[in-house]
Structure 1
């Protein structure tokens, strides 16, 4: 090596944009932490009421994008993630039950049925004009549950803040006979494969 040769000029490194998760869900926050990236959390102010005759997949995509857009207004320089999940029973959207009685009713309707969990993720950056959304579909087959199994499960786990009244990452896995998906964390609430693809496209370096 020639000692008199000039040292190579280091490549300029573009500062990483702030990453913001537009969600108050602890499940999505825990999933995003798996990527090892610093991020902030902000609550989106979005009306989640379904529109007339709105299909579950369209509802999930619309709300995920609306959440990302709402938080991006607060953080215009940031890359913002929004997400939403809707349980789809034969084209009918099932949301979070909110209480024990509605959870019982949901699980009774879903026993022995295949439910598609429509999980959408959207990424928005106002500063660059980036805006994209993708949908992960998870087909879940519920066992033919007895009333006592439903009651025992709900008393044990109280999944009243989960779409479809079941937490597959916990005891809720015992309610199911099969799961089909191409993005393993989608059922929990945030499809990380699609999330990685979108935030990298928006300019966030992962590796």
Structure 2
């Protein structure tokens, strides 16, 4: 990649099929390849039911990273996960329009946290991990407003926790947002780049 600060011998390996996370890494000028971790996230979550939401996000990111790193020990691997925390309760991607409607009904008029966790593996082992948190306050919404939003957003609501995409129509739902944009999208770039820089993997 022309002008890239990346010093690794091979592109960064992202333990995720997320197009959004890949685009974030590419936006920072880093070459990246993706490989799905192939882990059962809900089973891992069930095992960690006593974990706080931020710790759960971290555990899932580490599990993804470690799974891919074991199969590709020669690569620098990044694993990431995001958990939506509403007063200590975790919300997942809605399974259907009814679930999306229910999620928005719970979130409207309230502040929730998005915990975005990252793990980095070098030489087949996880060497760094961190969590960044953003806080989002959804404006009050009535039934008609929720229904209108879901109709306008379409199937995309099922691809994100909370049934919204802040980078799209979801921005209309919010009164206040506190936190880095990349954290909200699920991959905190600033701490990730700091981690890679500290390990001599970036030129500047």
The reply to whether residue 37 of structure 1 matches residue 30 of structure 2 is yes
76, 88, 94: which is aligned to 1:91? 88
- In structure 1, the gaps of 5 or more residues are 1-14
Alignment of 1:13-52 (within 5 A): 16-18=8-10, 19-49=12-42, 50=45, 51-52=48-49
Alpha-carbon distance in 2 for matches of 1:32, 1:116? 23
- Number of matched residues? 192
Coordinate RMSD, CA, aligned: 1.7
Alpha-carbon distance in 1 for matches of 2:81, 2:203? 23
TM-score (norm 2): 0.88
121, 137, 140: which is aligned to 2:136? 140
58, 63, 85: which is aligned to 2:60? 63
Q: Render the CA deviation track for 1:2-59: whole Å, top value 9, x for unaligned.
A: xxxxxxxxxxxxx623210111111111111101121111000222122223221111
Alpha-carbon distance in 1 for matches of 2:123, 2:128? 12
Alpha-carbon distance in 1 for matches of 2:183, 2:34? 19
CA apart distance, 1:204: 1.8
CA apart distance, 1:155: 2.2
Note if contact 1:99-1:160 (Cα within 8 Å) is conserved in structure 2.
yes
175, 178, 183: which is aligned to 1:177? 175
CA apart distance, 1:122: 1.1
Alpha-carbon distance in 2 for matches of 1:78, 1:94? 32
Alpha-carbon distance in 2 for matches of 1:72, 1:172? 34
CA apart distance, 1:99: 1.9
Note if contact 1:96-1:162 (Cα within 8 Å) is conserved in structure 2.
yes
Answer with 1 or 2: which has the greater Rg. 1
Q: 1:160 aligns to what?
A: 158
Alpha-carbon distance in 2 for matches of 1:126, 1:45? 20
Higher helix share: 2
Alpha-carbon distance in 2 for matches of 1:48, 1:20? 19
Note if contact 2:65-2:126 (Cα within 8 Å) is conserved in structure 1.
no
CA apart distance, 1:95: 1.3
Alpha-carbon distance in 2 for matches of 1:101, 1:206? 49
Alpha-carbon distance in 1 for matches of 2:67, 2:152? 35
Alpha-carbon distance in 2 for matches of 1:191, 1:175? 22
Alpha-carbon distance in 2 for matches of 1:30, 1:155? 27
